[in-house]
Structure 1
């Protein structure tokens, strides 16, 4: 029985896999068992932020694993405290943090914070949360219901109630009522088509919500940790949310999620928790990831990569108008909007054949999430292969 057969026999069929067996990686280049190289424009769906085989991250993980991997949150965890301080200081927001294991968990925690905020003297007064059409907030039952895509709600009910979906930023205000406690948005919708929100509209929304005492939750699971060019997309949009959620690129591949909030005393012991969340290993890794990316941001290297990659995608948009309507996105969270779902599927399939990895996203979008440390040579080679794929469609 070969490895593909083992996979199909013993694992639930929740993924439409490409059956390639990667054995090692160097930054944005992966190598399979035959030694063939692939340019990775996916970074594990935005997770491998400092690249594959990053020596600094690997050394940090190994060193930490030699000492303590996990105790529990019943005791002080030094790298957790240091990571919380680092994120607060770099973000510029006066907040406290809670660490979880994933983006879905972080969003669940954010919803719990909002719901508790809506209680008065133990009685539920406000509980509704408004999210946007095309949003994606995770695959747990509550996070799935928060997701504004009806196709995601086909099975798994009954769902928790209290979620309202707005067609656009502009519609949100009209949906607020006496039971509304929060609005939850992504500043760039990832699964929803790599679609950035309009900055002025977001700023107006933030101002209006503060006036109405409605919390603003910003889901930065994909946009956070320099993916859009700043530590947080919230920094880029120049707003101050009440709650921010993080995951994906924070650990460089080690699972970790985080909630940041200015509601510093909203939880008391016992209100929330996580067995694995924020343990020694994940927080040690995240501290090193932040250090690496902060250095690359400070010396201008990250900004140069962003400009180069954006220019290459705009050239593709110009050169292949029969395939793509426009380029979208921010930072190194980019997309090309295909003219049909058939074109999208053909592009992703043909790209894989040319050994360049890209992703599908909503609204017929080819999504690009390369490692933030990707070399210019890797970008150039990946774009070359991508163009070769397009030439055959």
Structure 2
């Protein structure tokens, strides 16, 4: 471990405040570090390893694809890409088409480009403005950083592309619309902003209002998508039909992938957008198997039972430790506990790691839970036992 730390310090840019641990293997929600210590993972790589670590079906699909062809470019037809797009669109229930990239930020860049071209092409006035929400998070590229409604993330990196406006909340959106507004971009549950769900009635009213004004609704489902909230999309749960949806994290089971999907099928044409690696054989073969695994899991009713059990145990943990927490938030397996102060939150995360359970921070004061969707009851029980030890030792 010490050698790895030295190499990291010498050769890797220090953009992460890394914990002093190196994982070497995993199995569903279990992890093993280089020192032989065992952990329960309530993070799934920040919502990425949706079907668990080292999922045999996904690994098999990846290995099979690797033995044939990994990459050739989007100048040619790619069978698993077409199949993945079909599975995504059919699971969504919407009449859409997909563009594949490598990350959530890239998916959101694609969404912004679609909205900007739509706004310039449709009408005499150039419509380029996109309204997002305070405390939102949409990515780390220059454009998606600017789309993110967190002022602290804008330090040092300007000047930024023009045209992003921030609403304090959904109710304020309409008052910020002008003749240059092309789209509104929201997360139905703000992940990095503190696991904060939007109000369903407000979201539905927003969708209706935007439709009446011919303004696009973009829903960033990078963290909420692919069954994280219990439905394939949080948009399905909120009973809305956005014009553009972005996906990433849980779609590849650990393989980098991002997707922007839209009902605006004729807006982007050949040459308007592209990606060298996006949608290649490897990433989309993995995505196809992840989608099959989770569809079967959802259709069987086991996903719903698992979500219920995890939330039941989280509620028990919250109730037993009310001195530290103020509220329980989230939807499905995207959950959080509001902690009374930042110092306590940091101590819980550190102690939890010492006790063998991995948890996350969100916003300034939220303990975040994003376990693999396939986490077992035994793993849930073990994880909360470790977490109870962690808070009891404070």
Q: TM-score, normalised by structure 1?
A: 0.98
After superposition, residues 71-110 of structure 1 pair within 5 angstroms as: 71-110=72-111
Q: Could you list the runs of 5+ residues in structure 2 that have no partner in the other structure?
A: none
- Post-superposition CA distance 1:172-193 (Å, at most 9, x none): 0111111110000000000000
**C-alpha contact 1:250 1:290 (8 A) present in aligned 2:** yes
1:198 alignment partner in structure 2: 199
Residue 20 of structure 1 corresponds to 21
- Deviation, 1:3, is 1.3
Q: Which residue of 1 aligns with 2:277?
A: 276
Deviation digits for residues 144-175 of structure 1 (CA, Å, limit 9, x no counterpart)? 00000001111111011100000111110111
1:182 is the counterpart of 2:155: no
- Paired with 1:124 and 1:30, the residues of 2 have a C-alpha distance of 55
**Does 2:321 correspond to 1:327?**
no
CA distance in 2, matches of 1:376, 1:316: 15
| 1:1-393 aligned within 5 A | 2-120=3-121, 125-393=126-394
In structure 1, how many angstroms separate the alpha carbons of the residues matched to 2:391 and 2:304? 27
How many Å separate the matches in 2 of 1:30 and 1:314? 24
Output the TM-score relative to the length of structure 2.
Answer: 0.98
Quote the RMSD (CA, aligned, Å).
Answer: 1.1
State the Cα deviation string for residues 63-120 of structure 1 (Å, max 9, x = none). Answer: 0000010011000000011111111111110001100000000000100000000113
The question of whether the paired residues in 1 share the 8 Å contact of 2:125 and 2:180 is answered with no
Residues 123/74 of structure 1: CA separation in 2 closer, same or farther (3 Å cut)? farther
Cα distance change of structure 1 residues 184 and 21 upon mapping to structure 2, 3 Å threshold: same
Which stretch of the first structure deviates more once superposed, 153-162 or 138-147? 153-162
Of 33-42 and 183-192, deviating more is 33-42
Contact 1:130 1:172 in 2 (8 A): yes
* Alignment check: 8 A CA contact 1:337 1:363 kept: no
CA contact (8 A) 1:134 1:147 kept: yes
Contact 1:83 1:286 in 2 (8 A): yes
Deviation at 1:124, TM superposition (A): 6.0
The alpha-carbon deviation at position 129 of structure 1 amounts to 0.3
Tell me, which stretches of 5 or more residues in structure 1 are unaligned?
none
Deviates more, 1:207-216 or 1:319-328: 319-328
Deviation of 1:19 after TM superposition, in Å, equals 2.1
Question: SS where residue 258 of structure 1 aligns?
Answer: strand
Deviation at 1:121, TM superposition (A): 7.4
Q: How many pairs align?
A: 393
Secondary structure at 2:314 match in 1: helix
Structure 1: distance between partners of 2:53 and 2:361: 21
Does the residue aligned with 1:97 lie in a helix, a strand or coil?
Answer: strand
The CA deviation at 1:34 is: 2.5
- Deviation for aligned residue 1:296: 0.6
CA distance, structure 2, for counterparts of residue 285 and residue 253 of structure 1: 9
* CA distance in structure 2 between the aligned counterparts of 1:155 and 1:230, rounded to whole angstroms: 39
User: Does the CA-based 8 Å contact 1:79-1:280 persist in structure 2?
Assistant: yes
